[in-house]
Amino acid sequence: MNHTTRFAPSPTGRLHVGNIRTALHNWMLAQKAGGAFILRIDDTDAERSKEEYVDAIRADLTWLGLEWTSEERQSQRLNAYEAAFERLRDAGRIYPAYETQQELELKRKVQLGRGLPPIYDRAALALTDEERAAKEAEGIAPHWRFKLDHDEAIEWTDGVRGKAKFDPAQLSDPVIRRANGSWLYMLPSTVDDVDMGVTQVLRGEDHVSNTAVQIQMFTAMGAPVPDFAHEALLVGKEGKLSKRLGSLGCDAFRERGIEPEAIIALLSRLGTSLPVEPIADRAQLLESFDLGTFGRAPAKFDDAELERVNTAIVHQMPYDAVKDRLPEGMDEAGWHAVQPNVSTVGEVAEWWRLVTGPIELPEFSDEDRAYLKQAADTLTWGDDPWGALTSALKEATGRKGKALFLPLRQALTGMNHGPDMGELLPLIGEEKARARLERGAL
């Protein structure tokens, strides 16, 4: 069987981590099955959709390494939706309704007051041809609803939630087309899934009732029903995530120095029974990816956890993966020396300044200045200049521990802490190291 998944964002804003997680999981489903991953731009809302957001969606997915097999645009498929609409209308599964929003809201309030579910009462189905003609003569354009089949329960086995069952009589016949002719989500999405051969639909649990409706649409069109799975929503500190939360988008992550591998490692397992680990190897993440590990409780996105994973990922990164992003003149030895001290690659430049200079020295005591003068005179250069220097000074002065090491580090780097001096001193070089020790002795 050809496995095909899709990610179908609306280009009405930037992607946030919730959208990214959905895209990632669909990409992983396709990758694990050796199938196709479709990027479908749901841009039927011409008023709110913007091309800059389409470009941003592509750029974000590319940065994350989520390559798509093909791209589709709903705005280029309007003829397909029109054809499906006409077939379903001719089959009696789509009907016109004329209520205004105010009238529908009043009906809902009345139903709620009577203790009834606030669903559409199908009053439009009782209209005669003459009554419909009269309304249209008054200039009332209809919106269009899909007529649900009330005869059988809607059931499916959800990839995350298990057995799912809906009574269609407890659902409103969904509006699929507005009075101005524009499309809502339901029908175009279903037509696309049919035409594009989508076999697995993985999305947020807020779409569960949509799935019940769309299963009847698939059946009405005589098409196979995909496998559906609904994952728990991702929430942040302030609750449900929103496209307004720019701080949780790829642009903000990039500016903070978050690596795409860290985002993938976190989101691939967030909300599952598997531990979140700083795994940069996507093959390893794919091997353990299983919808059966997904939980039902909302998954909480913790920015501090992302930073912890990112730091661990950076500490694993080989020189070849970062060499084009390092300061000029920094080689593999330099990267290896400062790598344990950084949480982002962007922090490397500040640590590299300890090698290139200039550095600011603290005030030293008379005793430490004499010690640094002795260090400058003792310094010799070989395979391990730091080890040779500290061993000689320990024997000559009797100093040990902090008294032995700290003044040397301060004079050589201007810092009280930092990279391993055994790795850093060879990068500083003999001439510069002696000059710094002599300067500290003044």
Domain for residue 348, yes or no?
no
- Same domain for 111 and 197, yes or no, is no
CA distance linking residue 421 with residue 423, whole number of Å: 5
- Measured CA to CA, the distance from residue 368 to residue 407 in angstroms comes to 7
Task: With respect to residue 182, please indicate whether it lies within any of the assigned structural domains.
Answer: no
Is pLDDT of 243 > 60? no
The answer, yes or no, to whether the previous bond of 358 is cis (omega within 30 of 0) is yes
pLDDT over 70 at 245, yes or no: no
In a domain? residue 349: no
pLDDT value of residue 71: 98
For residue 343, count other CB atoms closer than 10 A to its CB: 17
Q: According to the model, what pLDDT value does residue 235 have? A: 86
**Does the pLDDT of residue 201 top 90, yes or no?**
yes
Q: Which of 260, 294, 316 is the last residue of a domain?
A: 316
Q: What is the mean pLDDT of the chain?
A: 95
Domain presence at residue 268: yes
Q: What is the pLDDT of residues 70-83, one digit of tens each?
A: 999 999 999 999 99
Q: Of 1-15, 212-226, 401-415, which gets the smallest average pLDDT?
A: 1-15
Is 321 within the bounds of a domain? no
**Cβ burial, residue 24 (10 Å; 0-12/13-18/19+):** buried
Across 308-332, average pLDDT: 97
- pLDDT at site 1: 55
The answer to whether residue 400 sits within a structural domain is yes
pLDDT score recorded for residue 237: 73
Q: In this structure, which amino acid lies at residue 37?
A: F
pTM score of the predicted model: 0.90
> What CATH number is attached to the domain comprising 403?
1.10.10.350
| Chain position carrying tokens 């598997």 | 274
**For position 140, what pLDDT does the model report?**
94
- Judged against a pLDDT cut of 70, whether residue 379 lies above it is answered with yes
- Bridge-based pairing state of the strands 36-41 and 4-7: parallel
127 plus 206 within the same structural domain: no
Which pair of tokens denotes residue 329? 């003149």
Percent of the chain with pLDDT over 70: 98
Give yes or no for residue 24 having a pLDDT over 90. yes
Mean pLDDT within 404-415: 97
Residues 309 and 436 in one domain: no
Q: Could you identify the residue written with the tokens 């190897």?
A: 281
With a CB cutoff of 8 Å and minimum separation 6, the contacts of 201 are 5, 6, 193, 211, 226, 227, 228, 229
* Amino acid occupying residue 394: K
Single residue among 267, 299, 316 that ends a domain in this structure: 316
Residue 220 is part of a domain; what is its CATH number?
A: 3.40.50.620
Pair (219, 294) in one structural domain:
no
Which of 102-106, 235-239, 341-345 is least confident? 235-239
pLDDT confidence band for 212 (50 / 70 / 90): very high
Q: What pLDDT is recorded for position 42?
A: 95
Residue 146 sits in the same domain as residue 199: no
Q: Could you tell me the CATH number of the domain that includes residue 132?
A: 3.90.800.10
Whether 399 is covered by a domain: the verdict is yes
The pLDDT of residue 248: 81
Are 208 and 63 part of one and the same domain?
yes
Q: Are 433 and 369 in a shared domain?
A: yes
User: Which pLDDT score, from 0 to 100, does residue 94 have?
Assistant: 98
Q: What are phi and psi of 426, to 5 degrees?
A: -60, -30
pLDDT value for 240: 64
Residue 172 sits in the same domain as residue 118: yes
Give residue 46's pLDDT: 86
Do 277 and 415 belong to one domain? no
And the tokens for 126? 């009782």
| C-alpha separations of 39 from 36, 71, 192 in Å | 10, 5, 12
The predicted pLDDT at position 431 comes to 96
CA distance 347 to 352: 9
- Residue 339 CA to residue 175 CA, distance in Å, equals 56
* CATH code of residue 293: 1.10.1160.10
Q: Helix, strand, or coil here: 292?
A: helix
Residue 57's domain comprises: 4-71+188-232
Do 225 and 282 fall within a single domain? Answer: no
Judge whether 330 lies within some domain.
Answer: no
Q: Which residues pair with 203 in a beta bridge?
A: 230
pLDDT above 90: residue 411: yes
What's the confidence (pLDDT) of residue 47? 87
The whole-number average pLDDT for the span 412-437 is: 96
Same domain as 218, residue 305: no
Confidence of residue 134 (pLDDT cuts 50, 70, 90): very high
- Checking DSSP bridges between strand 175-177 and strand 234-236, what pairing results, if any? unpaired
Summarize the confidence of residues 262-278 as an average pLDDT.
97
Helices (H), 92-246: 101-113, 129-137, 186-195, 208-220
- Which one of 316, 338, 372 terminates a domain? 316
Report yes or no: 124 and 99 within 8 Å, Cβ to Cβ.
yes
In this structure, what are the phi and psi dihedrals at residue 313, rounded to the nearest 5 degrees? -65, -45
pLDDT at res. 247: 62
The SS3 call for residue 387 is: helix
97, 170: one domain:
yes
Number of domains in the chain: 4
